[in-house]
Chains A and B, each alone.
Chain A
């Protein structure tokens, strides 16, 4: 594995192997001294050209738990604001001695270009509305911890699928691992053409309350202003995970969210704090899966599980 850019082209065996390795790092992170020397002497650069809190901190924590050094960068204070091109920025950071780049960018495919320009291993931490592969891995790990396997599970992804890189990575990851995925959204928030996608579509969250996993996506308040749905209350009435709907879920079902949440929109405030809402477990697992991916890209095959 040279890069980790997309979940689309990752086989079931490779996904499962990454999840198995993540399990080992979950165990490492539970130790009194949650750190291994696997990547000592390696430098991982964090290039977040788009705002991020959790993903960036999660990658930093993952790199440090593997004893790698990190460099980071924030666009508002960088030379980008002085007009430096993305290419020059990437090459500059390579010249400083980075061994791998973790990149988030608002533009689809930016990571593929950076991989071409620099030749360094690139981890995609989110590109446009395209891919967010480590999010999909941590989601799969969270589901696997609860159900032991994704095989045959019914997973509903609810919300702004059209503009969601999380949804695109999750759909391919969950279905590759054997789950049935149903997308739930108004047509204005679904991708325009899903011909050939291995999914079903439902028009209301009420149609999928018997699912094993309800995965809620963040609704950006500003989308209401772009007239993709009439108003936030109307969205909540068709797609919100309210207390009433939560009470109707299957006994063993879980609720997930990639964060940041809009309490009171896609998820009712009380629901977010229930034990069966696995949102903080997702965050915790994020560190382990990012350790697994960094280790795979930089640590060679020797210690593979």
Chain B
């Protein structure tokens, strides 16, 4: 393996930012300091931030079964371009990831692409149908640490209780997409002043909060580590905050788009702002921002949800839900709120890696550690236009963002630089 020297870095460490060079050798960080010499290639970081590679706890890579939307190859490329070195792929594929061999397939495919560490979340129930438990032991043995029926809530409280008990015993995490079917009905957007004006059926905030409130009671009973996926309302932030204060093992994620956009966007009736949970009120945007800032919301997760162009080129109500996010996440977060660099990497890398049990990810850069890192210029302004993802369903196309990923390095190898993915 060759060496690579990163010069003029503003290195983000647990204690703050230091100006330093950084030597990478054989996939690991060989040295940090000034005046390091190398026989190999060097990258001038020009005073930009260098931190641990980003980790996304919530992506949809669509493989197996929906490769026309995305596959593990194109999704890995999108991740690399977004500064990511690890992603957790949600199990709502076809078939759902509800057994050990399916989890191993996803991991193997990720390894073969070699751009980013790909680990699947396992389904909680067979086929994500919410009826009987998935092969939780098998999934665990294959390396799955996060269990979720993402896209749907586990509605049956008795079934969820058993899943929680079982996963608690294994040591895993139950991650819930909180949405009560009865309350959400056939809603298409946040239920509120905008949906009322447009005459669209809404997904009320209470549909999310009611599920989280019920689940927290079950967490108290079972002691399982519980993770709230894509928190979108002020009420959910409050629920997580008080559960945490009561000592429950609860974490939460927020998407970049919920930090930036509110339901007023839907006035244009364009499907590029259709996703579940939907964009909420401005007060909710403020609440999830504050939650992320203070740490009640532990991490940013993209909910990267690719759809083919023709699938989204329809009226709003007829469009599938979800938007892509991997390639804009760091920029959107950096545009939406000004986190100090340590907190930024805490929320974008350290916390999600820790929850997902990824021992080679989300580690502050130090000699001997894995060379998974990103070079990020928080001041660069740019406008997203084209993507590595197979899909283009992004509301950020044509919007000016601040902050740009310049280089991504995975296992000591540059996977993204100068606007290009390096396979």
A-side residues, CB < 8 A to B, are 85-87, 105-110, 112-113, 128-131, 162-165, 168, 191-196
Which segment, of B207-215, B313-321, B366-374, faces chain A?
B313-321
Q: Which residue of A lies closest to B188 (CB)?
A: A108
Contact residues in B for A168 (Cβ distance below 8 Å): 197, 199
Are A85 and B315 also in contact (CB < 8 A) when A109-B269, A112-B269 are? no
Total residues of chain B contacting the partner, CB 8 A: 20
Chain B residues 288 to 320 lying within 8 A of chain A, measured CB to CB, are 310, 313-318
Contact residues in B for A106 (Cβ distance below 8 Å): 317
Are A191 and B196 also in contact (CB < 8 A) when A85-B313, A107-B316 are? yes
0/1 string, B189-233, CB within 8 A of A gives 1: 001110111111010100000000000000000000000000000
B310 CB, min distance to chain A CBs, angstroms: 6
Q: Which residue of B lies closest to A88 (CB)?
A: B310
| B314–A193 touching, CB < 8 Å | no
Contact residues in B for A192 (Cβ distance below 8 Å): 191-192, 195-196, 202, 204
Contact residues in A for B202 (Cβ distance below 8 Å): 192
CA distance A168 to B198 in the complex (A): 9
| A110–B199 touching, CB < 8 Å | no
Task: State which of A108, A191, A194 has its C-beta within 8 Å of the C-beta of B269.
Answer: A108
Q: Which of B193, B204, B269, B314 has the most CB of A within 10 A?
A: B269
Q: Which residue of A lies closest to B314 (CB)?
A: A86
| A109–B198 touching, CB < 8 Å | yes
CA distance A282 to B384 in the complex (A): 50
| B195–A113 touching, CB < 8 Å | no
| B192–A86 touching, CB < 8 Å | no
| B315–A86 touching, CB < 8 Å | yes
B298 CB, min distance to chain A CBs, angstroms: 31
B286 CB, min distance to chain A CBs, angstroms: 18
A75 CB, min distance to chain B CBs, angstroms: 13
**Chain A contact residues, majority secondary structure:** loop
CA distance A265 to B315 in the complex (A): 33
Can you name 21 A-B residue pairings with CB atoms under 8 Å?
A86-B314, A87-B310, A108-B199, A108-B200, A109-B316, A112-B269, A129-B199, A129-B200, A130-B200, A162-B199, A163-B199, A165-B199, A168-B199, A191-B196, A192-B192, A192-B195, A192-B196, A192-B204, A194-B193, A195-B193, A196-B193
CA distance A288 to B317 in the complex (A): 32
B68 CB, min distance to chain A CBs, angstroms: 15
| B310–A128 touching, CB < 8 Å | no
| A128–B314 touching, CB < 8 Å | no
Q: Which residue of A lies closest to B185 (CB)?
A: A226
CA distance A108 to B313 in the complex (A): 14
B155 CB, min distance to chain A CBs, angstroms: 19
Contact residues in B for A87 (Cβ distance below 8 Å): 310, 313-314
Contact residues in A for B188 (Cβ distance below 8 Å): 108
Contact residues in B for A131 (Cβ distance below 8 Å): 199
CA distance A51 to B65 in the complex (A): 36
Are A113 and B196 also in contact (CB < 8 A) when A108-B269, A192-B191, A192-B202 are? no
Contact residues in A for B195 (Cβ distance below 8 Å): 192-193
CA distance A165 to B188 in the complex (A): 17
Q: Which residue of B lies closest to A163 (CB)?
A: B199
| B200–A128 touching, CB < 8 Å | yes
| B198–A193 touching, CB < 8 Å | no
Are A108 and B316 also in contact (CB < 8 A) when A113-B269, A192-B191 are? yes
CA distance A86 to B202 in the complex (A): 24
A194 CB, min distance to chain B CBs, angstroms: 6
Contact residues in A for B204 (Cβ distance below 8 Å): 192
B95 CB, min distance to chain A CBs, angstroms: 25
A90 CB, min distance to chain B CBs, angstroms: 11
| B196–A108 touching, CB < 8 Å | no
Task: State which of B191, B193, B310, B315 has its C-beta within 8 Å of the C-beta of A108.
Answer: B315
Contact residues in A for B196 (Cβ distance below 8 Å): 191-194
Task: State which of B191, B192, B314 has its C-beta within 8 Å of the C-beta of A85.
Answer: B314
B192 CB, min distance to chain A CBs, angstroms: 5
Q: Which residue of A lies closest to B271 (CB)?
A: A113
Task: State which of B193, B310, B318 has its C-beta within 8 Å of the C-beta of A107.
Answer: B318
CA distance A131 to B267 in the complex (A): 13
Contact residues in A for B316 (Cβ distance below 8 Å): 107-109
